[in-house]
Structures are given as C-alpha cells and as structure tokens.
Structure 1
Amino acid sequence: MNANVIGSYEQLEEIIEREGIDKIVVALADRRGVLPVEVLLSCKLRGVKVEDVATFYEQVSGKIMLENLRPSWMVFSEDFTISPLTRALKRLQDIVLALVGGVLALPLAILVAICIRLDSRGPVLFRQERVGQDGEPFTLIKFRSMKVGAEATTGPIYAEADDPRITRVGRIIRRMRLDELPQLVNVLNGDMSFVGPRPERRFFVEQFEKDIPYYTRRMSVKPGVTGWAQVKYPYGATAEDAAEKLRLDLYYVKNMSSIFDLFIILQTVKIVLLGQGAR
C-alpha cells in the first residue's frame, strides 16, 4: 500500500500545527542515523505523544508485533516480569473460580457424561499428555468428543471442519466448549490456570519451536482453559495460525492481571452462548 506523503521531517512541526496532530507513530525499520531525534523531541516537548510502531500496534490490535521483537528488549524490559504477588493472586483466583464453576457445572457435566456413554463406545473422559508451564508435561482431562482410536492411522493431527472422527454428541459439546469442563480438575491440581495460552501437544510444540521465533515464551505461564488467543482468534491448524496466536499469547503474558482474566472469562461466556466454540 502506497503511503500518502504530506511532507518531510523538517516540516513535521508545521504539519502537526496545520493538521492538529496529537500523536506521532515512528515506524522506521532501521533508525540508525536517520531518526529525526531533535524534531521528535521538540514535538514531544510541545505535548505531542511520540510512540514506537510496536507499542501502537499492540494498543490497537491486542497483539505483540513479532517482527520487531528483539531478545535484548525481552531481557531488559520489565513488561514480561510477573511478580510473585501476581502469580499468587492468579492461583487464588483460579482455585475460587474452579471450585465455584465445578459446583455450578456438576449437573451439566453429569448430563454430558450420560450422553457420551449412550452415543458411542469408549470412556467418558479423554486423557492426553500436554505441555505445561516451562515445558513440563501434564495429563489434560476432557470429555471425549471423538471416536476411540481417532488418530490410530493418522498420528497427531488437528481437528478439521466436519471432522468424521468427531461423534454426534462430541460435535455439540465441542461447539459449546462443554468438553473442556473436566479441565477444572487440572486447574485445581495446579497444572493449568483458568486463563492462559492453549495447552499444546509436544508433537506440535516441537514443530512450532523450529518455525516460530519466541514460541516457547508462551510457556512462561500456565496454560489455560480459555485465553486471549482463544477468544480473539478462530480455530487454526497451521504454522501461520500458531504464529498469529503467539502474538496474542505474548500480549497476554505481558499484560497478565486479574482484571484482564475476568474480561477474557466474560468474553468466553459470550462466545459459548453464541455457539462460536472450537471444532
């Protein structure tokens, strides 16, 4: 897309005055020797806000700009530092929400279990190893939504639209995300949080680690039953989808708080009520 050039750096103060500009976004790929420091400083002293393009992108999109992410920035920035107090409050919130949610959802969980038992042969619960915080493995618990031995001939693959491996009841509970109710046990056990990045299988983690820079940074917090990427991005099964979700996961890690968690939970409830669940 061609940019509309309305002047040079030397004319910046004049343009700001003429156009009534109150914010400047610096989007130079290479700033060495070309950044108009004096002009930008003069504008800032006049009350005009000066922002880096990565910060601006984060504010308007709710994502981290991976293209501008540098190891030194992650090392020296305090933005990705999670205090012991924040972690303790999050754990307390998880326990309370999991206990309250478990009690409220118990009648529904019993109904789902009965429907699964009547619909297809096999266990009601599905257990699978996933990668947790700091790369540690744990056993994820879900209501079974696929036929027994669904990956016996294919190996690990993501679910597809109209996936024939999904049972009749499984299709309903996946759309409403009821298959994830047993994960409240994972939350109580401390393997998961109520809100966090999606827990992936090691098979996919190892693939994405090779192709996507900073992918392991999403594992600096516990995986979640729901999360920022889950509510902001549709179900995806490609490396491109994983990279896009990583932008959202890193934004969550950077801005993690109890208020943000509650906002994500409310967004999740809205999605479930509208029937916009996963495949």
Structure 2
Amino acid sequence: MIQLAVKRGLDILFAFLALLVLSGVLLVISVAIKVDSKGPVFFKQERLGKNGTVFQIYKFRTMVEDAESKGRGIFQNENDDRITKTGKLLRVTSLDELPQLFNILRGEMSFIGPRPPLTYYPYTIDGYSGEQKIRFQFLPGITGYAQIMGRNSLNWEEKIHYDIDYVENYSLGLDLKIFILTIYKIVQREHVHHPENSDTQLNQVNKKA
C-alpha cells in the first residue's frame, strides 16, 4: 500500500528531525529526572507491537523507581504519590513520550497508530479475538485514534474498537487529523491519567504482573 510506504518514510524523516531539533530539550529533561529522584532516566517496558511481536518501549521515567511493584501497580491517578515532581510536568505535556522517537527509527513504532499494550494486559496476544487482532496489523503509535477519542478515560474494549476502525479506514488524511487533534488534547490536558479501576480488576492485573 503506497500510503503506508509514504507513512513510514515520513516517520523516519520527522523522527530524525525531531531528535536533532529537540536534542537540547532531551538533555535538560534527562538532567531534571536525575536531580529530582533516584533511578534511571529512561523507563523501559515490554509491549506488543506489529503482528504481536514483543519490543521494548522507551519513555522518560516519571515515577519513582520500581513504581509498578508499588501502590496501584500499572494504574495511576492525578494525585498518585509515586509520580515525581518532574514526572508530573512531563505527563501533562506528554514530553515523557519523546524517547519513543528512537522506537520509530528502530522500526518498532510510528508517530500515529494503535497504542502498544502490555504483553499481559488487557490480554496476552493469544487472548485477543480474531477481529481484535486487526489492530496489530499496523505499527503501534505514539498517539492514535483512541487517544483523541478519550485516551485514558476509555476502557480497553473501547480503545480496541477505535484501533480497529483506524486500521480498516486508514488514510494519510486521517493521520493528519489525529496529529492535529493530539496537539489540541495535549494543550487542553485532557484524559492524562488512568481512570479509577475496581479492586477486582486491579488485583487481577497485579497477579498477572
């Protein structure tokens, strides 16, 4: 598909340019993270990518070290005491996602596409239905259709629905629309945190972890 080839070419071009232009910003953020709290600058986590392959996603660390083994596990809320001072700023501005530019250059991600889920949540790769696996036909994105439609205020079934809709109706024009609306959502600071989840769901996820 010609549009997908163009999409990949644009990903490489803009990821390279972004890293070049933002190199100073990346350095400042790295220093701020190290000064603010103990632990590594980058947060790495295994995610499911295109065709269900596993890869390591990169983010700037926004929480205390080993945060996933404490408190609410993979879930967070606005007043989560595991989030560092620098992390709060990075999250509301989405600057914590910048290291994923390296994932794009490595061919593991795109600027726009379905967000890559954890390897064990909401399902393992074998737990997705045949229809749901359609979302894995594309490279995962830093942002996507589900992000502009509700981001963390949506449950996973709703997110998957939007992911499937994106893949089945893909166009470069849709990518442009998602990019513009993503900027708007960031400025408005909408749906940054995960919604509250029931104790039952939380326990199930922590057991899987």
Q: TM-score range by the shorter chain?
A: 0.7 to 0.9
Q: Is 1:169 the counterpart of 2:86 in the alignment?
A: yes
1:251 and 2:165 matched: yes
Residue 267 in 1 paired to residue 181 in 2?
A: yes
**Equivalent pair of 2:150/2:191 in contact (CA under 8 Å):** no
**Ranges in structure 2 where 5+ consecutive residues have no aligned partner:** 194-209
Residue 137 of structure 2 is aligned with which of 194, 202, 220? 220
Distance 1:163 1:214 in 2: 35
Aligned to 1:185: 102
Q: What is residue 116 of structure 1 aligned with on the other side?
A: 33
The aligned length equals: 193
- Alpha-carbon distance in structure 2 between the residues aligned to 1:211 and 1:195: 21
Contact 1:156 1:203 in 2 (8 A): no
What residue identity is the alignment partner of 2:180?
A: L
TM-score (norm 2): 0.84
CA distance in 1, matches of 2:125, 2:77: 19
Contact 1:229 1:249 in 2 (8 A): yes
Q: Structure 1 residues 208 and 278, CA, compared in 2 at 3 Å: closer, same or farther?
A: farther
Q: CA deviation at 1:106?
A: 2.0
Q: Distance in 2 between matches of 1:141 and 1:97?
A: 18
Contact 1:208 1:215 in 2 (8 A): no
- Flag the structure with larger Rg: 1
CA separation of 1:276/1:155 partners in 2, compared to 1, >3 Å: closer, same or farther? closer
Percent identity, please. Answer: 35
* Distance in 1 of aligned mates of 2:176 and 2:19: 17
Alignment of 1:227-238 (within 5 A): 227-236=144-153
TM-score of the two chains, using structure 1 as the length reference: 0.64
CA-based RMSD: 2.2
SS of the counterpart of 1:151?
helix
Aligned-partner SS, 1:247? helix
Q: Secondary structure at the match of 1:270?
A: helix
Which letter does structure 1 place at the counterpart of 2:111? F
Q: Which residue of 2 aligns with 1:276?
A: 190
SS at match of 2:68: coil
Q: Which residue type is aligned with residue 162 of structure 2?
A: L
Q: CA deviation at 1:168?
A: 1.1
Instruction: Give the deviation of 1:115 after TM superposition.
Output: 1.1
Displacement of 1:131 in angstroms is: 0.5
Letter in 2 for 1:197: P
Q: Deviations over 1:167-218 (max 9, x none)?
A: 1111110111000000000001100011001111111042696487732221
Deviations 1:122-166 (A, max 9, x none): 111111111100100011011000110112256952223322221
Alpha-carbon distance change, 190 to 171 in structure 1, aligned in 2, over 3 angstroms: same
Q: Which has the higher contact order (CA 8 A, sep 6+)?
A: 2
Partners of 2:30 and 2:188 in 1: CA distance: 23
Q: Per the alignment, in what secondary structure is the counterpart of residue 151 of structure 2? A: coil
Q: Does structure 2 retain, via aligned residues, the 8 Å contact 1:196–1:221?
A: yes
Is 2:118 the counterpart of 1:204? no
